[in-house]
Amino acid sequence: MKIPVSFFLIFMLGFSQALSAQSLPSILITYHSESGKTQAMAEAVAKGVGEVKGVEYILKPIAEVTEEEILNASAIILGSPVYNANMTPRVQEFINSWPFEGRPLKDKIGAVFVTGGGFSIGEEAVMFSMIRAMMIHGMVIVGGDELEAAFGASAITGEGDFAGREVQEIFLKKADGLGRRVAEMALKVR
């Protein structure tokens, strides 16, 4: 029996759609870091994502992220140091580069993390600024795993007991929880 070509093509199209529907949610974890502190938080976020089975992630600095990675991500977790109570200019430029026409980021999950040199130096203001930018694109915002990380994860890196040291475990735990929660949400909305 000879199978008609049209039947074969329809079968293959259905098969490829079934495979793509089964692909794992992908989470883009990206950041700008000059001192390595924001990178340490990004790595803790990735650790949290990696604790959830059924998702994959990409971890890289914003300078290395492609538009294709942005568009293919189920979730974007973005990190910035606090810079004069703002996100760094490079993070702002990165957000400004996101495609807007047709709102291709609409309904993707968004989350943020920051590092600041001291207490009350603008961590929440920077998180809200990044969150607002994500919301303009239609993204759905997810906060951290615990009350103390409601807007995302943050770390103090240059004041008091936190000065001159690596990022402390209390802050890395918040970043880990943020990554885990975003991964769990990506599976739920899949």
Q: Which of 20, 101, 36, 105 is nearest to 69 (CA)?
A: 105
Say if residue 150 is exposed, middle or buried (CB neighbours under 10 Å; 0-12, 13-18, 19+): exposed
Tokens at 80, concatenated: 């910035």
DSSP character for 30?
A: E
Tokens at 48, concatenated: 């949290």
Domains of the chain, by residue range, sit at 24-188
Q: Which of 159, 145, 130 is nearest to 47 (CA)?
A: 145
Domain 24-188: CATH superfamily, name plus number: Flavodoxin domain (3.40.50.360)
Quick check: 44 and 170 in contact, CB under 8 A? no
Tell me the pLDDT of the chain (190 aa) as tens digits: 565 655 544 454 454 444 445 689 999 999 999 999 999 999 999 999 999 999 999 999 999 999 999 999 999 999 999 999 999 999 999 999 999 999 999 999 999 999 999 998 999 999 999 999 999 999 999 999 999 999 999 999 999 889 989 999 999 999 999 999 999 999 999 8
